[in-house]
Amino acid sequence: MTRNTKYLQIIIASILFSYIIIANAETFIRDDIINDPSPSQFTICHGGTCENIEKVSLDEALWQQIQSIFSNKSSPQQERENIKLAIAKLEKMVGRLTNTFNDKAENITDEEYYHYMDCIDESTNTTLYLMMIQNDGLLRWHTYQDRGNRGYFFNGWPHTTAVIKETRTGKKYAVDSWFRDNGQPPYIIPYDEWENGWRPMKRL
| 34 has a pLDDT exceeding 60 | yes
Task: Tell me what the mean pLDDT of segment 77-89 comes to.
Answer: 98
Q: Residue by residue, what is the 3-state secondary structure of 94-118?
A: HHHHHCCCCCCCCCCCCCCCCCCCC
Lowest mean per-residue pLDDT among 56-60, 134-138, 158-162: 158-162
The rounded distance, in Å, linking the Cα atoms of 120 and 149 is 10
Give yes or no for a contact between 158 and 150, defined as CB atoms under 8 angstroms apart.
Answer: yes
| pLDDT attached to residue 98 | 93
3-23 vs 119-135: helix axis angle to the nearest 10? Answer: 40
**pLDDT tier at 24 (50, 70, 90 boundaries)?**
very low
What share of the chain in percent tops pLDDT 70? Answer: 79
Give yes or no for a contact between 181 and 104, defined as CB atoms under 8 angstroms apart.
Answer: yes
Task: Tell me what the mean pLDDT of segment 159-179 comes to.
Answer: 97
**pLDDT tier at 7 (50, 70, 90 boundaries)?**
very low
The rounded distance, in Å, linking the Cα atoms of 193 and 176 is 12
- Mean pLDDT over the full length of the chain: 85
Domains in the chain: boundaries: 3-195
- DSSP strand pairing (142-150 vs 52-56): unpaired
How do residues 112-158 score in pLDDT, each as one tens digit? Answer: 555 689 999 999 999 999 999 999 999 999 999 999 999 765 455 78
| pLDDT attached to residue 22 | 38
Collect all residues with Cβ–Cβ distance below 8 Å to 43 and sequence separation of at least 6: 32, 33, 34, 37, 53, 54, 55, 56, 128
What share of the chain in percent tops pLDDT 90? Answer: 65
| 105 has a pLDDT exceeding 90 | no
Phi-psi region of 57 (alpha: psi -120 to 50; beta: other; left: phi over 0): beta
| pLDDT attached to residue 27 | 60
pTM of the model: 0.84
Task: Tell me what the mean pLDDT of segment 35-58 comes to.
Answer: 94
| 3 has a pLDDT exceeding 70 | no
Residue type at position 109: T
| pLDDT attached to residue 94 | 96
Q: For the beta carbon of residue 31, count every other beta carbon within 10 angstroms.
A: 7
